[in-house]
Amino acid sequence: MRRVHTHRLRAFLIAGLILAGLALSPLAAVAQQQDGGLRQQLTALAQQHAFIIRGLDRLSQEPASAMTGDLRTQVSLLLGGYNFIVLEDGQGNIREIQILGQRSAQGNNPPAVQYNPPAPPTPAAQYNPPAPPTPAAQYNPPGQYNAYLTPPGDHAYAIKTTRRGPHHHVEAVLSGPNDYPYTLSLLIDTGATTVVLPASLSSGMGFRREDLQDGWTQTANGRVPIKRGILASVKIGDATAENVEVSFIADELLGTQKILGMSFLRNFRMSLDDKNNELILLSGSAP
């Protein structure tokens, strides 16, 4: 009789340990996932929900964070310190997340790329003035960018801006899939990851429904739905970039604002001349 009770007790204990292990395994997985840091946590989340995540190499070495809420809330919490774009499928499920980079402390915007001209010569060094420009190289009059400061092999574009308060606007010519040129005034914003336009312009530029991807982006005012596509070209003055990413946002959310973001500006080294109201763009090679 004692043997029967002993066997039953052992069976009961073994079964209890198995059930306890099954119950604790998700918690152990979460703990292991959190031990691996933010990168591993996002990778596990992407595998769990079957979406693609790009730009993990742009993450700093951060510890994992506690996750609560639905998938979109979890993504927003985990990437709260980064600029990112979420693309969705036709059913509203997350299909892809693109991590664009870490937000800066000033306004959560990536820093502008500044061009620093060469320092003037010291008094001890004899300064030899540059030779007069050849007929093919024109000297820009005061108020425009000095061509002598252009590094060898680079080409400088000086584009006049219009000031509206502290902000600079430039006139740009944008073409969509139908190559019809739209001339628009754009606000220069290094904190915007793409060119941003009102949704009412998309059809006139030749974008079809299949040309645009659904998604959303996190802003200071919360989550905003977007339609993302590719502009054939963007031209400002003589500076041109092709295949430029654009985000279309509902007119009532964007208002009258149209934005020149980093999808165009990252093709150049740039600076803003507040005194002379100029945008200076430097390309890596002459046109």
Rounded Cα–Cα distance for residues 72 and 85 (Å): 12
Q: Do the Cβ atoms of 63 and 38 come closer than 8 Å?
A: yes
Residues 6+ positions from 201 with CB-CB distance below 8 Å: 182, 248
pLDDT, residue 188, reads: 95
pLDDT, residue 198, reads: 95
pLDDT over threshold 80, residue 220: no
Label residues 81-99 b or e (16+ Cβ within 10 Å = b). ebbbbbbbeeeeebbbbbb
pLDDT digits (tens, 9 = 90+) for 141-194: 433 334 334 455 568 899 999 998 889 999 999 999 999 999 999 999 988 889
pLDDT: is 228 or 65 the higher one?
A: 228
Distances (CA, A) of 150 to 115, 146, 219, 263: 10, 8, 36, 23
pLDDT, residue 15, reads: 44
Least confident of 27-36, 247-256, 259-268: 27-36
pLDDT: is 80 or 264 the higher one?
A: 264
Which DSSP category does 78 fall into? H
> What is the pLDDT confidence band of residue 126, given thresholds at 50, 70 and 90?
low
pLDDT over threshold 60, residue 140: no
Residues in a beta bridge with 279: 159, 272
pLDDT over threshold 60, residue 127: no
Q: Model-level pTM?
A: 0.55
Residues 6+ positions from 231 with CB-CB distance below 8 Å: 174, 175, 176, 195, 205, 243, 244, 245, 246
pLDDT digits (tens, 9 = 90+) for 197-217: 999 999 999 999 999 999 988
pLDDT over threshold 60, residue 104: no
Which DSSP category does 35 fall into? H
Distances (CA, A) of 276 to 105, 143, 270: 28, 5, 15
